Amino acid sequence: AEEARQIEKYRNAIEIAKAKRDYELKQAGFDLDVNINKAKADLAYQLQAAKTNQALKEENMQVQIVERSAAIDVAEQEIIRKEKELDATIRRPADAEKYRLEKLAEAKKQHVILHAEADAEAERLRGEADAYAIEMAAKAEASQLQKKADAYRSYTKAALVEMTLDMLPKLADKVGSSLCEGVGDMKMISTGDGDIGAARITQEVLDIMQRVPQLVSGMTGVDIFKASRENYSDISDRSSFPQ
């Protein structure tokens, strides 16, 4: 009976242990399911939170992009406005001043060129006029010299002799006047030979006149005495011809 009681006791203990084991297994299964569900829930929450954060970040990024685009548009509009203001206040006046200065410099350059060309043309015309005047003067002088040469060549020795003889009385008068001109009292000193007084003065004049043919011969190459003799001989020969 005691053995049977002990067997029953063990059997009950085994049943209790099995029941406890089953309970614990089931409890562990419940806990596992709870933990799994909790993990799933946590994961789902985290995923949803991440999605939400991502969406918020994307929305925030879109907002920033929109804001940045708006800021860029504003900056571009400001740049355009400043460019226009710069063009209106600085560039256009500077370009206008540059254009004015360029045109002024070009006009001055053209003025200098035209003035230089005008001076060069005037100088050329003056040079041509001077050259023409010199040429005309030279031609006139040459013509005059040619006329004189022709006139001199047209003279015969007889004409030269005649001109010289016609000149001799005038020359004698000039010589005598030169000797007496400005003389108040004249004293003549005689050495005892030759004439004295007026005859002496006359002799001095004649001595001077006798040198004239030599001067004429030296200047013209014409021997007055020889030419006079030849001229006289020609006249004598012509006078012997029958009339």
What burial class does residue 91 get, using C-beta atoms within 10 Å of its C-beta: 0-12 exposed, 13-18 middle, 19+ buried?
Answer: middle
- Specify whether the backbone of 14 is left (phi greater than 0), alpha (psi in -120 to 50) or beta: alpha
Report the pLDDT value the prediction gives residue 235, as an integer from 0 to 100: 46
Q: How many CB atoms lie within 10 A of CB 15?
A: 10
Give every CB contact of residue 223 below 8 A, 6+ residues apart in sequence: 213, 217
Amino acid of residue 173: D
Stretch (H or E) spanning 104: helix 92-154
| Alpha-carbon gap, residue 243 to 238, rounded angstroms | 10
pTM: 0.29
Under-50 pLDDT residues of the chain: 235-236, 238-243
CA atoms within a 13 Å half-sphere pointing along the CA-CB vector of 13:
6
Label residues 198-211 b or e (16+ Cβ within 10 Å = b): eeebeeebeeeeee
Report the pLDDT value the prediction gives residue 233, as an integer from 0 to 100: 58
| Alpha-carbon gap, residue 208 to 201, rounded angstroms | 11
pLDDT tens for residues 157-169? 566 666 666 766 7
Domains of the chain: which residue ranges? Answer: 1-30, 156-239
Instruction: Calculate Rg over the CA atoms of the chain.
Output: 76
Tokens 């050329």 belong to residue: 124
CB contact at 8 A, 188 and 197: yes
Two structure tokens written together for 158? 């007889």
Q: How many CB atoms lie within 10 A of CB 216?
A: 19
